[in-house]
Structure 1
Amino acid sequence: MDEKLLHEAVGEVRDMVALDGGDVELVSVAGSTVTLRLILEGVECRECVMPREFLEPIALDLIRTRAAGVNAVTIEDPRER
C-alpha cells in the first residue's frame, strides 16, 4: 500500500468530517485494515458529526479510490466510550 496515497485519502476523509466540525487521524494500518480516530475536541455539536457506523463505509470508499488493497476501515469514536 502506497503510504503517500493513503495519507491523501485520509485527507479526503478529514475534509468531509471537517464540514461537521470534527477531524480524523490515522491510527494504524494492519494488513488491509485502516484504523482512524475521530477527533471531537472543541466541536460545538458532537452529535452533529456523522456517527461511526455511517462514517466507516464512506471512509472506506474514499480510501479505496486511492489506496488499493484496503478492505476495511475502523473508526474509533470517542462518543462510544
Structure 2
Amino acid sequence: MDQTLLDDAVGELRAMVALDGGDVEVVSAGDGAVALRLILEGAECRECVMPRDFLEQIALDMIGSRLSEVQAVTIHDPREQD
C-alpha cells in the first residue's frame, strides 16, 4: 500500500474532522483494509463530529479513490464506549 497516498487521503479526512475539534489516526493498513481511530480529546463538541458509520463511508471514498485496493475502512469511535 502506498503510504504517501494513504497519508494524503487521511490528511483530507483529518482536516474535515478538525473542523469539529476532532482528529483521526491510522491504526493499521493492509490486506485491502484500513483501521482508523477517532480522537476527540479536546473537542469542544464531541457530538458535533459526524457519526462513525458516516465517517467510515467518507473515509472509504477518500482512501479508495487513491488506493483502489482498499475495500474497507473501520473507525474506532470513543463515543461508542461511553
Q: TM-score range by the shorter chain?
A: over 0.9
The alignment-based identity, stated in percent, is 69
Most deviating of 33-42 and 58-67 = 58-67
Q: CA RMSD in A?
A: 0.8
Across the two proteins, how many residue pairs are aligned to each other? 81
Shift of 1:66: 1.3
Residue segments in structure 2 that go unaligned for 5+ positions in a row: none
Q: How does 1:26-41 map to 2 (within 5 A)?
A: 26-41=26-41
Structure 1 runs (4+) deviating above 2 angstroms are: none
TM (norm. structure 1) is 0.94
Q: Which residue of 2 aligns with 1:80?
A: 80
1:60 aligns to 2:60 (yes or no): yes
TM (norm. structure 2) is 0.93
Q: Which residue of 2 aligns with 1:6?
A: 6
